[in-house]
Amino acid sequence: MNAVPALIAVVPVRDGILPAGGLESISEARGIALLIGSDCPAAVESARGVARRVFTVEATDQSPAILGRVAAEAIRRSLPDHSVVVPASPDGRDLAPHLALALGRPLHSGAIEIRADEVRLARQGGLAIAPVRVEGPFVATLQPGIRGVDFVADTTLEHAPLSISAPTTGHSVVSVEVRPPDASTMDLAEAPRIVGGGAGLDSDARFAMLAEVAASLDASMGVTRVITDRGWATHERQIGTTGVVVDPRLYIAFGISGAVQHTSGLGQPAHIISVNTDPHCPMMQMADLAIVADANEVLVALAHEVTPVSPS
Ligand SMILES: Cc1cc2nc3c(=O)[nH]c(=O)nc-3n(C[C@H](O)[C@H](O)[C@H](O)COP(=O)(O)OP(=O)(O)OC[C@H]3O[C@@H](n4cnc5c(N)ncnc54)[C@H](O)[C@@H]3O)c2cc1C
């Protein structure tokens, strides 16, 4: 039987913060990683207990084409025979094709599992799995929230900073400003705060109100599958096994029962608030603050408190 391919995780870093799925990719590569971006030393610290051998490249230019070429050079200098796994976060999905191109390797997007001689890719929003045979080194993006993170007791970590200059491109691109993402439109997988709505909210209009309340709280809106099936929200807002896997610090659930297909896509929120008429449903059991009340009424009251123009 063939061995699982030797892997290195390539993880883009912004201001010392690892993206969604960063630690999982490092676990998949059995603790070997290249961190590339701004304030890598802080990111190295947050990978302690998961990573054991880390290369870093400090790069202020976050354009994926530049990062891809710099990361490719770093791979050539460090572990040229290793296949590469990149978290399928927004930055990772941007970086991976440029990295694959610069390394001259095939790219396998949306992997849920990497085996000895095949990569299994999620397709049709996770409803289908496509196995792809692999021969030789490749680049794969790994879906966040599926394999989990392997924490190790030994937190010793070998850190090797690499100095690689950004390649000259023949044309000059100047970064004028990097703006924080708009919470109402950002990728749900990256959202630090999510306000979720389920079948306990009684109309399409409630979800427009929910989106406004979310925006006022600098949060993103998420929903259950019942709501996307009704056409009250689009599929990229659906949290769960057949939707988006998220990992917010705060989750506020309005009228959500907490079915396993929903909660298994919820990550590990530090704080959960749930509003539900049923105090015994799973979402209320998971909550730090469980409010037994009509979610529609609580939403209206909250909207009066937080939105600039009070709803009628
Ligand atoms: C293969 C498969 C994949 C699936 N994938 C997903 C997925 O990705 N994501 C997902 O979310 N689901 C998914 N589901 C569906 C999942 O099983 C649940 O049906 C769904 O999550 C339930 O959504 P809900 O909590 O909005 O609705 P319900 O389960 O109907 O719960 C509604 C909740 O609202 C409460 N409620 C009712 N009225 C009020 C009120 N006035 N005020 C306050 N609370 C009230 C009820 O007590 C209840 O707890 C999947 C199912 C299958 C079979």
Would the CB of 191 count as within 6 Å of ligand 1?
no
Q: Which atom of ligand 1 is nearest to the CA of 126?
A: 8
Q: Is 38 in the pocket of ligand 1 (CB under 6 A)?
A: no
Distance (angstroms) between ligand 1 centre and the Cα of 312 equals 27
CA distance 201 to 272: 18
What tokens appear for 76 in the block?
Answer: 């050539």
Question: Sign of torsion, CA 138 144 150 153?
Answer: positive
Instruction: Give the closest residue (by CA) to ligand 1 atom 51.
Output: 261
Q: Are 269 and 250 a contacting pair, CB within 8 Å?
A: yes
Residue recorded with tokens 């572990």: 79
Q: Which atom of ligand 1 is nearest to the CA of 258?
A: 25
The whole-number pLDDT of residue 309 equals: 60
State the DSSP string of the chain: -PPPPPEEEEEEEBTTBPPTTHHHHHHHTTTEEEEEES-HHHHHHHTBTTBSEEEEEE-S---HHHHHHHHHHHHHHH-TTSEEEEE-SHHHHHHHHHHHHHHT--EEEEEEEE-SSEEEEEEGGGTEEEEEE--S--EEEE-TTSS-----S----EEEEE--PPPP-SS-------PPPPTTTS-GGG-SEEEEE-TTS-SHHHHHHHHHHHHHTT-EEEE-HHHHHTTSS-GGGBBSTTSB----SEEEEES----HHHHTTS---SEEEEEES-TTSHHHHH-SEEEES-HHHHHHHHHHHHSSS---
Tell me how far the alpha carbon of residue 126 lies from the centroid of ligand 1, in angstroms. 19
pLDDT tens digits, one per residue of 24-47: 999 999 999 999 999 999 999 999
Q: How far is the CA of 210 from the centre of ligand 1 (A)?
A: 17
Answer yes or no: is the C-beta of 295 below 6 A from any ligand 1 atom. yes
Q: Which atom of ligand 1 is nearest to the CA of 199?
A: 26
CATH class of 188-306: alpha beta
* Same fold? 7-162, 188-306: yes
Domain boundaries, given as residue ranges, for the chain: 7-162, 188-306
Regions of the chain short of the pLDDT cut 50: 1
0.75 surpassed by pTM:
no
- The residue type found at 4 is V
CB burial readout 216-235, b (16+ within 10 A) else e: bbebbbbbbbbbbeeebbee
Token readout for 298 is 């609580």
Q: Hey, which CATH number is domain 7-162, 2.40.160.50, 3.40.50.620, 3.40.50.300, 3.30.1370.10? A: 3.40.50.620
pLDDT score at 172? 57
Any bridge partners for residue 104, and if so which? Answer: none
d(CA 41, CA 290): 39
Q: How far, in Å, is the centroid of ligand 1 from the Cα of 143? A: 24
The pLDDT value recorded for residue 215 is 92
pLDDT of residue 125: 64
In this prediction, residue 1 carries a pLDDT of 46
